[in-house]
């Protein structure tokens, strides 16, 4: 690459190396004008452009120029300072987005698991404040059912009698209900319900084992257990409450370039979103 294709910036003592085309994403910005020596704020020292600004915040600026997306850590709080930096560099579409903190701030998400053990069956109800989390969790959980005579309950069903998957009960977009265990059917027949939770491949029939796997799955998915309480002690009805910070949906800047124009920037929500 030629020296014009690779640009080195020293921002407040932090060194950044990037392409000239990256800095020219917004032609009227100060970073684009810097390359044509049209901005005296940026001093060329030993082949590096020096600017006396916050280097740590500039790392978010350069990431935005590379991806045209606004993606901030869940613990980020310096929205006003970053907005000022965006205004300094002439990146007004980014500054406008940062002024709307509610679009970018992570949200607190609550999830509740109710577990009830009655005789040979266990009942589960999961409620969440975020419907997309419940949808994702519903895709991980499968209930299998099958019949068997009252013999050999210590072992799974024979392979020649495959278990049939059942759809989960969904009272609303925010909750789901399922059960596992054994219940009586006609004659000496029994109906057994096994539960499988991805990525674990086991089919579990014991409610306590299913509960343990479910709680472990939620903890691995970033949830934090904040409370456990017994709702009805006689029926062993328990409630587990979890919370986590859910990252805001990614925002993408779309730049529409027209002849003789520096481009009009618009923000749209990214369709690629991590389910966390």
Q: Which residues contact 229 (CB under 8 A, 6 or more apart)?
A: 238, 239
**CATH number of the 6-103 domain:** 3.30.710.10
Asked if omega into 201 is within 30° of 0 (cis), the reply is: no
Q: Which residue has the higher pLDDT, 176 or 263?
A: 176
Q: What is the mean pLDDT of residues 47-76?
A: 90
Spatial contact of 50 and 16, defined as CB atoms under 8 Å apart: no
> Could you state, in order of their start, the residue ranges of all structural domains in the chain?
6-103, 108-246
Q: Name, of 121-130, 241-250, 251-260, the range with top average pLDDT.
A: 121-130
Q: Which residues contact 181 (CB under 8 A, 6 or more apart)?
A: 120, 121, 122, 192, 193, 205, 206, 207
Residue 151 confidence (pLDDT): 52
pLDDT in tens, 156-187: 544 446 788 988 999 999 999 999 998 866 56
Q: Which residue has the higher pLDDT, 26 or 40?
A: 26
pLDDT band at 235 (very low <50, low <70, confident <90, very high): low
pLDDT band at 66 (very low <50, low <70, confident <90, very high): very high
pLDDT at position 99 over 70: yes
Residue 6 confidence (pLDDT): 92
What percent of the chain stands above pLDDT 90? 52
Region of residue 222 (phi > 0: left; psi between -120 and 50: alpha; otherwise: beta) = left
Q: What is the rounded end-to-end Cα distance, in angstroms, of the chain?
A: 40
């Amino acid at each position: 690459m030629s020296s014009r294709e690779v640009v080195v910036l020293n921002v407040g003592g932090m060194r950044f190396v990037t392409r000239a085309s990256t800095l020219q994403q917004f032609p009227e910005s100060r970073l684009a004008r810097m390359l044509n020596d049209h901005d005296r704020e940026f001093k060329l020292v030993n082949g590096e452009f020096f600017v006396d600004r916050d280097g740590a915040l500039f790392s978010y600026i350069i990431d935005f120029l590379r991806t045209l997306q606004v993606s901030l850590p869940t613990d980020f709080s310096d929205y006003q300072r970053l907005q000022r930096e965006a205004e300094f560099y002439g990146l007004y579409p980014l500054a406008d987005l940062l002024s709307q903190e509610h679009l970018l701030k992570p949200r607190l998400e609550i999830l509740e698991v109710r577990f009830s053990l009655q005789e040979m069956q266990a009942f589960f109800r999961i409620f969440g404040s975020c419907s997309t989390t419940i949808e994702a969790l519903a895709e991980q959980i499968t209930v299998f059912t099958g019949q068997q005579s009252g013999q050999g309950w210590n072992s799974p069903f024979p392979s020649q009698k495959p278990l049939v998957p059942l759809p989960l009960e969904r009272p609303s977009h925010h909750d789901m209900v399922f059960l596992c265990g054994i219940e009586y059917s006609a004659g000496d027949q029994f109906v057994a319900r096994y539960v499988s939770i991805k990525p674990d491949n086991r089919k579990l029939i014991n409610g306590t084992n299913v509960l343990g796997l479910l709680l472990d799955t939620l903890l691995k998915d970033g949830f934090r257990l904040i409370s456990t309480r017994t709702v009805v002690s006689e029926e062993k009805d328990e409630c587990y409450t979890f919370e986590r910070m859910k990252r805001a949906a990614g925002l993408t800047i779309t730049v529409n370039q027209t002849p003789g124009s520096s481009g009009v920037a618009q923000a749209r929500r990214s369709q690629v979103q991590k389910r966390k």
